[in-house]
Amino acid sequence: MKDVSTLRPLAAAVALAGTLAGCNVAPTFEQPALPVPETVSPEAGAAATAGAAGQAYAQAQSWIQSAQLREVLALALTHNRDLRVALDNIERARAQYGITRADLLPGVALQAQGSRSRTAADLRNNGQSGINEQYTAQLGFTSYEIDFWGRVRNLNAAALQAFLQSEDNQRSVRIGLVADVSSAWLTLAADMARLKLARDTLASREKAYELTRRMFELGATSNLVLAQNLSTVETARGDVAAYTAQVERDRNALQLLAGGPVPDHLLPTAGMWTTADAEAALLLQVPSPLPSKVLLHRPDVRAAEHNLRAMNANIGVARAALFPTISLTGSIGTGSRELDALFGSGNGTWSFIPQIRLPIFDGGRNRAGVAVAEANQRIALSQYEKVVQTAFKEVADVLADRAQWSQRLRAQEGVVDATQKAFELSEARFKAGVDNYLTVLDAQRSLYTAQQSLITLRLAEQVNRVTLWKVLGGEQGSLGDVAGT
């Protein structure tokens, strides 16, 4: 039977590793204070309630009311190439974390070897040639570092933070994709509405021109009026051509984001922007004011924090290089000149090779490495604070616009109503012979411009809601619900 004393050196090594691997020279991580005011908007009295509502808004997918848009988002979340790249980056970071985590444990390998050689007679003492055989089998580990100062653990912590950072980067891509697809879909809807308005305007102007032409043939109006009327027709015809091309470009942009063709039944309708309650048909209202802590849910802020934690762990890695490194190499096995006697009694072998490396003089390399790691940590801290400040500005800007949208829309709707009435009155006065046709042309152009501006404002208001959802950090887990619709 094999002597159990051959196992004692390895057992002692394992016990020593467990005893010593308890120190960590990395600085303790502390959550940085937010370098922004406590609330995003000045109404601090309602901040607590609105903050909870704001987070619920950011996490709920019900802010998208259009079933067509939800299905387009499902296509994009399945087929968009940028999102696939982000997912592959997560897998790469996960694998890299697995590599560094494996260094926490000794790598054990089994090795079996056999050799057979012939020795010439002149090389042997007895003057006769011979056959030499040797067989060995060993189980052991090589250069296992006892993590006395936390170097390997800090490398593992930095890899973990890199993995978590890749997950938050992927969330940023998902949130940005949802916002981009929503904005592209809404832009397509607005340009389809502009195209419909241009076509309706062209049809009405062609009818007016035809009537004016008949009046000219009867001598009831001048050639100047006929030419002026024709210019409005050609202008409207040019707008139809321009918006037709723009709608096709919008469809191409939407298909690129969706990762493939978008079926026609998922495209918006041209009439969805022409009613006063168009915004109620698309996206829900958003809460305000909001506490600044809501910004911590943004994936870019979380990614910056993970980077800061990784830099903090790297300080521990650099500091550990100033201290001795203890590594162990050991093996147990058996050896014999005969294969059938390989595992026989008395053929056991073992080896135990501890190694201590103590840095004495390196020209200041290790201390410079600590300085670099500390500088990287300070840079990461500044970057984190800049990301938080940028997030605060983005949310504050969107909320500032948000507060005025209802008034701007009502004002523009009033402008459309007023210019419509002015156009009708000027047309009646021209027919009555009170005013010339230039007054009608000016009123007609003003009405057309006001209607186009109203479509633009309604689009901007809807994009503002999408942008607010994006800058609040999007949702946590309901995108999967969208992909499953």
pLDDT digits (tens, 9 = 90+) for 258-304: 888 899 888 888 766 655 555 434 555 555 566 777 788 889 999 99
What CATH code is carried by the domain that includes residue 159? Answer: 1.20.1600.10
Backbone angles phi, psi at 474, to 5 degrees: 65, -155
Show the beta-strand stretches assigned E in 317-394: 325-336, 348-357
pLDDT for residue 3 is more than 50: no
For residues 220 and 224, give the distance between their C-alpha atoms in angstroms, rounded to a whole number: 12
CA atoms within 13 A on the CB side of 430: 22
pLDDT at 382: 92
My answer on whether 291 and 354 are in the same domain is: no
pLDDT of residue 60: 43
Q: Average pLDDT for residues 139-161, to the nearest whole number?
A: 80
Query: Is residue 476 pLDDT above 70, yes or no?
Result: no
Contact 1, 291 (CB under 8 A): no
**DSSP string covering 250-287:** HHHHHHHHHTS---GGGSPPGGGGSSTTGGGGTB----
Backbone φ and ψ of 166, nearest 5° = -65, -35
354 pLDDT more than 90: no
* CA–CA separation, 15 and 173 (whole Å): 47
**Per-residue pLDDT at 202:** 92
Cis check for the bond before 37: say yes or no (omega within 30 of 0): no
User: Of the candidates 255, 66, 180, 170, which has an alpha carbon nearest to the alpha carbon of residue 469?
Assistant: 180
Structural contact between residues 236 and 202, judged by C-beta atoms closer than 8 angstroms: yes
Q: How many domains does the chain have?
A: 2
pLDDT of 255 > 50? The answer is: yes
Residue at a domain's end among 333, 358, 383: 358
pLDDT by residue (tens digit) across 83-96? 888 888 888 888 87
pLDDT digits (tens, 9 = 90+) for 413-432: 999 999 999 989 988 888 78
User: Does 241 lie in the same domain as 319?
Assistant: yes
What pLDDT is attached to residue 8?
Answer: 54
Q: Residue 475 pLDDT > 70, yes or no?
A: no
Q: Per mean pLDDT, which range of 45-54, 175-184, 432-441 is the poorest?
A: 45-54
9 contacts 354 by C-beta, under 8 angstroms = no
pLDDT of residue 444 exceeding 70: yes
* Domain containing residue 127: 1-25+107-146+325-358
Q: What is the mean pLDDT of residues 65-74?
A: 84
> In whole numbers, what is the pLDDT of the chain averaged over residues?
78
3-class secondary structure, 292: helix
Taking residues 94-111, report their average pLDDT: 77
Crossing angle of helices 151-217 and 437-471, rounded to 10°: 170
| Domain co-membership, 44 together with 191 | yes
pLDDT value at residue 196: 92
Q: Residue 282 has what pLDDT?
A: 52
**What local confidence, expressed as pLDDT, does residue 217 receive?**
81
User: Which of 133-137, 142-146, 307-311 has the least mean pLDDT?
Assistant: 142-146
Judgement on whether residues 52 and 187 belong to the same structural domain of the protein: yes
Band of pLDDT at residue 308, cut at 50, 70 and 90: very high
Higher pLDDT, 60 or 38: 38
DSSP of 307-322: HHHHHHHHHHHHHHTT
Q: Answer yes or no: do 67 and 93 share one domain.
A: yes
**Is 319 in the same domain as 329?**
no
In this prediction, residue 358 carries a pLDDT of 81
From 315, 334, 358, the end of a domain falls on 358
CA dist 161 and 170 (Å) reads 14
Distance CA 389, CA 471 (A): 12
CATH number at residue 8: 2.20.200.10
Q: Calculate mean pLDDT across residues 336-346.
A: 74
* C-alpha Rg value of the chain to the nearest Å: 38
For residues 99-110, give the mean pLDDT: 76
Residues 260 and 347 in one domain: no
Say if residue 43 is in the same domain as residue 17: no
Which of 60-64, 132-136, 293-297, 431-435 has the least mean pLDDT? 60-64
Domain boundary among 338, 358, 378: 358
Are residues 311 and 408 located together in one domain of the fold? Answer: yes
**Are 446 and 316 in a shared domain?**
yes
Statement to judge: residues 19 and 41 lie in one domain: no
Residue 42, classed as helix, strand or coil, is: coil
Q: What is the maximum span of the chain, computed from C-alpha positions, in angstroms?
A: 139
Task: Give residue 46's pLDDT.
Answer: 35
Q: What is the pTM (predicted TM-score) of this model? A: 0.74
Does one domain contain both 343 and 250?
A: no
Q: Which pLDDT score, from 0 to 100, does residue 318 have? A: 87
